[in-house]
Every structure is written in C-alpha cells, then in structure tokens.
Amino acid sequence: MNYTLNVKGQLMSLAQPKVMGILNVTPDSFYAASRVQAESDIARRAEQIVEEGGTFIDVGACSTRPGSTPVSQETEMERLRLALGIIQRMQPTAVVSVDTFRPDVARMAVEEYGADIINDVSGGDDDMLRMVSRLGVAYVLTSVKPTLEESLLFFATQVQRLRDMGHKDVILDPGFGFGKTLAQNYSLMERLEQLQVMDLPLLVGVSRKSMIYKLLDVAPEGALNGTTALNMVALMKGAAILRVHDVREAAECVKLMAALNNKVEP
C-alpha cells in the first residue's frame, strides 16, 4: 500500500517501509542499553539512528513500560527540551517523533521544536485528540485492547473522531505489549494483515519486548534475534513502520523485504 504522510510540508511515501529508531532520555527504560541522558550520548544516538538507516527518531522522556510510575509533566518536558534541542542542532533534517501521552507535552514539542509526529501510547483521550488535530501533525494511535476485533472497533471509533476534527495523518499501532497477554500478542501478530482494512499505515513496535524475551527465556539484551524475526513477519503482513532499538538490523529487514517483493535487484 502506498501510504503517505505530510511531514514538514511535503508528502513522504511509505511505499517502502521505514524504520523508527528509539531514543530514550529516561533512566528506567526496560532495555538498559537504550537509555541516554548525557548531551553527548543523545547526539551520538541521534546520529547513529540516521547513519544506520532510520527515517524517524522517536524521542521518549517518560517510561511507559508495564509497572512503571510516570514522571511529572515538568520532568518529561525538561528531558525533552534537552533532547529535542540537541537533535534540532545536530540532525536538523531528521523527522522527529515524540513519544508522549500528555497533550501539553505534545504541544510544547511541536510548537517549540517542530516535532513532526506525536506517538501516543495511551489510545488517545479527548484532550490529546483535540490537541493533535489543532497542531496538524501526524499522530500514532495505539490500541491497548487485547484482541484484533476489539482493536478494530477501537481504531474505527477513534479514527472517525479524528476525521470529524479535521485530522488527516493517522498511523495505527496495534500496541504489542500493552494490555495483552503473551498469547494475545502472538494471536494479533498472526492476524496483523487484517488491520489493513482500516486503509491506514501500520506501525509495529515489538523491539526486545517481553513477548519475545519471556517466550525465549532470555533478558531484553538477548532478544535481538527474536525481534528481527518478528520484524520480518510484521513486514510480510503489511507493516509500514518498524519502531526499534536496533536500527541497522531493522533496515536490513526492510531491504530484504524489498528484494522479496522484486522492488530492488537482489
């Protein structure tokens, strides 16, 4: 499917899937190696994402891992201002996504730093939907529902609300790891292609999550192979964006998938 997003006033094609690299400015992300807080580390991570083939840099400043306690809005904003300022200086052409569930944080990121995408794992309450519609940026709508059927109903309802508000660019995230058992995560992955009925781009984020490391009986640090395997499955089932810690490996999956689809010379 040749989806497009309006990014920085231009249409970006998603005909070939893109990679979204994770940049966590938190001390408590579930995957320790993804945490960066020093200015030099933030700059280095942003550069790494771009160099390894990432199209989007997804900046998170408030951990949403299961069981975590969210930091205050003020702390989240402080962390984001540091990271977004560095990215703006060091990677001025990067497409920046901000991972937040707070409307005022979304407003700050877009109005002060020109963030291009709001990645909201909350599922979109009324205030957030109104905010992203006013800001006019691409919006990642996440389902925390446990089954495909419930996710489809949720997406249909929320997307219609966004359309009624005049919002155009919506990306659907089925929410692997959010509100789902291990079995439900894999059931959803097995039927992922059915979400294409929504005619909207799909973002898949399974990178080093518990659905992989618990099943394989490893730590998150040992879950790269499982992540790569599921990323390839997701691409085969229509994912347009892979949100990952390991950008190079995901970009290689995209390249291999293009060869399988005869879009590049093998």
* Residue in this structure with the two tokens 């309802």, named with its chain if needed: 157
Nearest to 121 by CA among 189, 178, 182: 178
243 as an active site residue: the answer is yes
113 and 85 in contact (C-beta within 8 Å)? yes
Distances (CA, A) of 102 to 6, 62, 122, 132: 22, 10, 9, 11
Structure tokens at 189: 């992955």
* Catalytic residue (one of 18, 191, 209, 214): 209
Instruction: Give CA angle at 91 (88, 94), nearest 5°.
Output: 95
Residue 202 has φ and ψ, to the nearest 5°, of: -105, 130
Relative orientation angle of helices 182-190 and 224-236, to the nearest 10 degrees: 40
Taking the CA of residue 92 as centre, how many other CA atoms within 13 Å lie in the half-sphere pointing to its CB? 1
Nearest to 56 by CA among 89, 101, 87, 32: 87
* Catalytic residue (one of 65, 243, 248, 263): 243
163 as an active site residue: the answer is no
Q: Give CA–CA dist 88/155, Å, rounded.
A: 32
The set of catalytic residues is: 209, 243
